[in-house]
A and B are shown apart, each in its own frame.
Chain A
Amino acid sequence: MDFAIKFAFDIMAFTSVMVLIVLGLGVIASMMGIFNFAHGELVLLGAYTVYLCDEYGMGAWTGVILAPLVVGAVGLVLERTIIRRFYATPIIAMLGTYAIGLIIREIVRGLLGGHYKAIPEPVSGAFAIGGLEFSIWRSFIIATTLAVIAGCYLLLARTSIGLRVRGALENPMLARACGISTGRLYALTFAFGAALAGLAGALIVPLYALSADIGIRFLVQAFLSVMLGGVGTFEGPVLGAAAVGGMAASLPWVVIPVLADPLVFVIALVIVRLRPQGFITVGRL
C-alpha cells in the first residue's frame, strides 16, 4: 500500500510538470492554430525571472508570482510585433517562432555563462502522512496544476471571452463583422499562453536547476502530447500531456531507462495512428 501511494505520488508529480508545460502550448495551438516553437524559451524566461528575483534578494516567491506576468507581457509584445504576421502561414510560423526561441535561449545562455544555477524551492522539505514523506514543493506543483487546469477550462469554455476567441478562430471575417476585435483577442490568447509557460518555468526550475536548455528538453515531448491529445480542444493536450508524462515516469519501472525514452514515442505514435483525431473528438471547444 505504502509503495502504491508513493508510486502514485511520483507519477502524479512528474505528470503535473508535463501538463503545466503543455498547457500554454496547447492553448496557443488549439485557439490560434500556431505551433509555438518558442514555447520552451517562454518556460525558460519564467525560470529566469525566478532566478533574477532570488539573485536580487526579492525571494523566490516573488519570482513565482512575477513570472507569469513578465512572460505574459513578453508574449504580448511578441504577438503584436511578430507572431501576428504569421496567422496566414502556419508553416512559416513554426520557423519564425523557432528563430525567436533560439534568440532568447542563446541570450540567456550568454547571461548565465553557460553554467547551471541551482534555485532553491520557495518552500523546501517534506511533510509526513502516515509515516510516508512527501516533498512540499512537488505537492504544491500538483495542486497548482489542478487549479490552473480548472481555471483555464472555465475561462475558455464557460466565459464569453472564451466563446469569442473560438468564434474568431473559426471564422475571423464573420467574427469581425459581429464586432469582435480579432486582433486583440489573438494578442490576449497568446499572452495568456505565454503566461502559462512562464508559470510552468517558475514552478519547475527548483526541480531541474536553471540552464538555457531547461525548456527545450521538454519541448519535443510537449509537442507529442499536443499531437496525441489532438489540436482544437482544451482537454485534448492536457490528456495527451498526462499520458506522455505518466508513461515517461512509469516506463523506467518496467524497462531499462534508455529504452523507456524511445518507447514513450513508439506508444504515442501507435495511438496517434489509431486515433489520428486525438483523444477528444466530440464536444470541441
Chain B
Amino acid sequence: MREAKLGRRGFLGSAAALSAAGWAGSIAGGLVLRPSWAHAAGPIKMGIATDITGAIAPSGNANWQVAQYAVEEINKSGGILGQPIELYLEDTASDPKIAVGNVRKLIQERHVNVVLGGITSAMRQAIKDPIVNRGKTLYIYPQLYEGQECTKFLYNTGPTPAQQCDRLIPYLIKTLGKKRFAMPSANYVWPQLLNKYARKVIEANGGEVVFEEYYPLDQAEYSATISKIKDGNVDSVFMTIIPPGLQPFVKQLYESGFQKSGGVLTCVYYDENLLNYHPAEEMEGLVSCLDYFQAVDDPFSKKLQEGYAKMFPGTKYLFTAGSASTGMYRGVKFYEAAVKATGGKLGREEVAAAMDHAVLTEGPGGGAEMVPGHYHAKMNMYIAVCKNEGGKTRYDIIDKASMVDPREC
C-alpha cells in the first residue's frame, strides 16, 4: 500500500514535485496524512472529498491545500484537546459518479468522523446521501452556493445568495444608480436559484430586470445577448456565466463599449483567480461580493496568507473565496470548535449539537458563527471593485458588512 510507506513529509515532497510539474497526481488509492505524534484515544479522522482532477481541479487542489494548512496549524498547537487530526483525501474527480464510490471509501473503510468537501452543487447532491444518510457521518460543505440545503448533519460554511445579494444589490441600485439589470447565466442550478433570489432583491429596491437568459455552458457566441443589452438600455449586468462560456461573453460585452458608456458588470463568484481568466482591461470596474478578498485589511487574514504561502511556496492554487477555500478553512475550524465544546466526544449527535452554536473569532475575512438550527453561518461580506493599473489587476474593497445573516432554512 502506497500510504503505509508514505509519511507526511514524504508525501508533501512528492506532492510538491508533482504539482511543480503541473499534475496533482492521480490518487486512485486515496491518501492519508498522519500527524507526527499520537494520543492514547487515537487521532480524529477527517475526510476530505474534493476535486483533485477534472474540470474544477484548480479549486479542488486549493481546497485540499487549505485543509492541510488548517489541520497542520491545529496539530502544531497540540491538536483538539490533545487529540491530533489525521487527514484522509479522496478524489471526487469533478464527476459525481466517481465521487460516490470514493466517498463511500472514506466512510466504510476509513471510518472518518467528518467529511468536508464537494464544490459544485451537483457534487454536494451526489455525495450528501452516502455521507449523511447511509454513512451516518457529519458533512461540511464549503462553497458559496444557491442555498436551500437544509439537511440535518450537513453544515454549509460558504456564503448564501442572501449574503451575496442583500448588501450588493442595494449598493448597485442606490449608490451607483444602476437600475436596469440583465441576468445572463449559465444553464444550471446555481444561476437559476441565485437569480431567483437576486431578482426579488432588485425589485424590492426599485430596480428592474430587463431580461434573464440561460446559455449552454460552452456557448461561444453572444452577439444576440449583447444586442439585447444595448437595446434594453441595460446599465447593470448581473452575470452568472461560468467558464468556458464566460470569456467570449465578457470580451463581447467589453467590445460593445458597455463599460465605457457607464455600465457595470457584476459577478458574485469572482475572486483573485478569475481576474487572470481575462485581459486586464476587460476586468476594470467589475464588482464582486464575497466573504474574503486578499485585499481585506485584517491582520489575521494576512497571517493566514503568509502561512499558506510558506507551506506551499509558489503554488498555482490560491487561497481565495471563490474556490471554496475560505469555506474549507472555516469548516475545519468550526469542527475543531465543536469537538472542543463536546469535551473531545466524537459522536455525530454530540458534535452536531455543538456545531450548531460554534463560533470562530477569527478567520479569512474575519470571524464567523453558526446560526443555531439553520445549518449556515453568519460571516463578514465584502464588496470589491476591480482596478486595472497598467495591465495589472487588483481588487479594492469598498464596503464591508459585518456578520451578515445567511437567511436560509
Contact = CB atoms under 8 A, between A and B. Distances in A.
Identify which of B21, B227, B281 gathers the most chain A CB atoms within 10 Å of its CB. B227
A249 B227 CA distance: 13
A126 B243 contact: no
Interface residues of A, number: 40
B372 interface: no
Given A10-B223, A217-B220, A257-B225, A114 B247 contact: no
A252 B243 contact: no
Contacts of A116: 243-244, 247, 276-277
Interface in B171-228: 187, 213-216, 218-225, 227
B279 interface: yes
A207 B316 contact: no
Interface string B259-292: 0000000000000010011110100000000000
Interface in B14-38: 19, 21-23
B251 interface: yes
Given A115-B58, A257-B219, A257-B224, A211 B243 contact: yes
B22 A112 contact: yes
A106 B279 CA distance: 25
B277 A118 contact: yes
B78 to A, nearest CB: 35
Given A207-B248, A207-B251, A208-B244, A252 B278 contact: no
Contacts of B257: 133
Contacts of B21: 110
A7 interface: yes
B248 to A, nearest CB: 6
A248 B57 contact: no
Contact of B278 (A209, A213, A214, A256): A209
Given A118-B277, A135-B255, A257-B213, A213 B244 contact: yes
Report, as a range, how many residues of chain B touch the other chain: 35 or more
Contacts of B273: 115
Interface of A is mostly: helix
A124 interface: yes
Nearest to B222: A252
Contact of B247 (A112, A118, A218, A256): A118
Interface string A68-103: 000000000000000000000000000000000000
Contacts of B61: 113-114
B238 interface: no
A11 B221 CA distance: 9
B247 A208 contact: yes
Nearest to A112: B22
B276 A110 contact: no
A270 B55 CA distance: 34
Contacts of B255: 126, 133, 135
Given A112-B22, A258-B214, A208 B220 contact: yes
B267 to A, nearest CB: 15
Interface of B: 19, 21-23, 55-58, 61, 187, 213-216, 218-225, 227, 243-244, 247-248, 251, 255, 257, 273, 276-279, 281, 316-317
Interface of A: 3, 6-7, 10-11, 14, 17, 110-121, 124, 126, 133, 135, 207-209, 211, 213-214, 217-218, 248-250, 252-253, 256-258, 261
